[in-house]
């Protein structure tokens, strides 16, 4: 039987990327990194459990990809540059096919963002994956949930609702075509908006990533900033596939379904043209509303009428 040491070496040790500031990576009892005095360390961790964080049958490569993607999204949501990760994998059996696919998905994304895996753990037990990520940011430059001010414009990157609709498709019998493939890919392989997060430093007033749906996550910005917002439903950015397949539940998905990992941020009006210029070469962004002073989150439909969110099944909201 292959030893734990051999499995770690084979599936998790990689010599590149290697950051100069990594004093010690995989192979000793702990990793050591040095941070220049003008930077701060930004740290986040997420655990992945089957049936809770990913549906059974999720391709194993995608589990590896997404377990890092959600962590990269948290770095993006602070404006930080991701640098290192540690990884804990608990597996019912030391299944090398599984480890091979998982590490392929993980390193596909890690290499794209030059994230160095510097340590972790490998255990026997019910399937569970935990990734901790460490990034850096110039001192004092971090973007927080707090910081939105009355009059700010509310923006989101990319499209909303794709991943939630993808999950619903998965749970129903669906025809395979370009649209359903696109939506499932959005669920399995979210694009962390790392470049976008960094580009917002010095421009945005507040920032969060959308993991639980814009209605929930924008509310976190509003609560932290002690303000409110008006969101125009006809401005919500949706994909062609979503438009074709979401049907009458389109607003429910676009507002409350999770797993999109887009960014939501607020910016003062006088920075709007700088923002739009900067993002031409980064990713699509859409202004969906504005920040108000009354501490309420209000949705307005195309007729200018108040839209009440149906809260059944979404108890985590409000
Ligand atoms: P210890 O018994 O001291 O905890 P381990 O055998 O668990 O040591 O780990 C040996 C080395 O391999 C350590 O540097 C550890 O960080 C690294 N490591 C273990 N599992 C993983 C993993 N899944 N991914 C990356 N590095 C790992
Ligand atoms: Mg260990």
Output the residue whose Cα is nearest ligand 1's atom 22.
120
Residue 27 Cβ < 6 Å to ligand 1: yes
Ligand 1 contacts CB of residue 240 (under 6 A): no
Nearby residues of 150 by Cβ (< 8 Å), 6 or more positions away: 227, 291, 292, 293
Return the pLDDT at 205. 98
pLDDT tens sequence across 101-139: 999 999 999 999 999 999 999 999 999 999 999 999 999
- In the three-class reduction of DSSP (H, G, I as helix; E, B as strand; rest coil), residue 87 is classed as strand
Q: For residues 113 and 313, what is the distance between their CA atoms, to the nearest angstrom?
A: 36
Ligand 1 neighbour 8 (Cβ under 6 A): yes
For atom 9 of ligand 1, the residue with the nearest CA is 121
Q: What is the mean pLDDT of residues 165-187?
A: 93
Most informative mutation of 8, 9, 96 for ligand 1 (most atoms within 8 A of CB): 8
Is residue 84 within 6 Å of ligand 1 at its C-beta? no
What is the rounded distance in angstroms from the CA atom of residue 120 to the CA atom of residue 68? 13
- Burial degree of 248 (CB within 10 A; 0-12, 13-18, 19+): exposed
Q: Which pTM value belongs to this model?
A: 0.95
Tens digit of each residue's pLDDT (9 = 90 or more) over 301-314: 999 999 988 654 33
**Closest ligand to residue 86's CA:** 1
CA distance 244 to 224: 36
Q: Which among 198, 230, 215, 310 is positioned nearest to 260, based on CA atoms?
A: 215
131 lines ligand 1 (CB under 6 A): no
Joined tokens for residue 138: 């110039």
| Per-residue confidence (pLDDT) for residue 173, from 0 to 100 | 80
What radius of gyration do the chain's Cα atoms show? Answer: 20
Instruction: Give me the pLDDT at residue 311, please.
Output: 58
Q: DSSP of 194-215, one letter per residue?
A: HHHHHHTTTTEEEEEEESS-HH
Nearest ligand to the C-alpha atom of residue 27 = 1
Look up residue 248 and give its two tokens. Answer: 């009458």
The tens digit of pLDDT for each residue in 236-267 reads: 999 999 999 999 889 999 999 999 999 999 99
* Pocket lining: 201 vs ligand 1, CB cutoff 6 Å: no
Which helix or strand (DSSP H or E) is residue 279 part of?
A: helix 272-279
């Amino acid at each position: 039987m292959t030893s734990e040491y051999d499995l770690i070496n084979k599936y998790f040790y990689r010599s590149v990327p290697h950051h100069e500031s990594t004093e010690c990576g995989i192979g000793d009892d702990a990793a050591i990194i040095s941070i220049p005095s003008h930077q701060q360390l930004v740290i986040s961790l997420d655990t992945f459990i089957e049936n809770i964080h990913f549906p059974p049958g999720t391709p194993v490569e995608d589990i590896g990809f997404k377990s890092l993607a959600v962590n990269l999204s948290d770095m993006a949501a602070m404006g930080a540059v991701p640098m290192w990760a540690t990884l804990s994998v608990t597996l019912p059996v030391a299944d090398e096919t599984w480890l091979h696919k998982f590490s392929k998905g993980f390193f596909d994304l890690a290499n794209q963002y030059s994230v160095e895996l510097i340590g972790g753990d490998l255990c026997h037990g019910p399937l569970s994956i935990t990734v901790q990520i460490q990034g850096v940011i110039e001192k004092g430059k971090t973007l927080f949930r707090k910081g939105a001010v009355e009059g700010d414009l509310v923006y989101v990157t990319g499209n909303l609702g794709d991943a939630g609709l993808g999950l619903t498709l998965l749970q129903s019998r669906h025809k395979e075509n370009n649209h359903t493939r696109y939506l499932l890919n959005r669920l399995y392989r979210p694009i962390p908006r790392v470049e976008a997060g960094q580009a917002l430093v010095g421009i945005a007033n507040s920032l969060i990533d959308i993991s639980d749906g814009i209605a929930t996550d924008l509310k976190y910005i509003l609560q932290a900033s002690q303000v409110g917002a008006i969101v125009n439903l006809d401005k919500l950015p949706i994909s062609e596939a979503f438009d074709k397949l979401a049907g009458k539940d389109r607003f429910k998905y676009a507002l409350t379904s999770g797993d999109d990992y887009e960014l939501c941020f607020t910016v003062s009006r006088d920075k709007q043209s700088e923002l739009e210029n900067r993002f031409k070469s980064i990713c699509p962004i859409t202004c969906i509303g504005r920040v108000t002073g009354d501490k309420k989150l209000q949705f307005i439909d195309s007729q200018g009428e108040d839209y009440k969110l149906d809260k059944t099944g979404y108890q985590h909201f409000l």
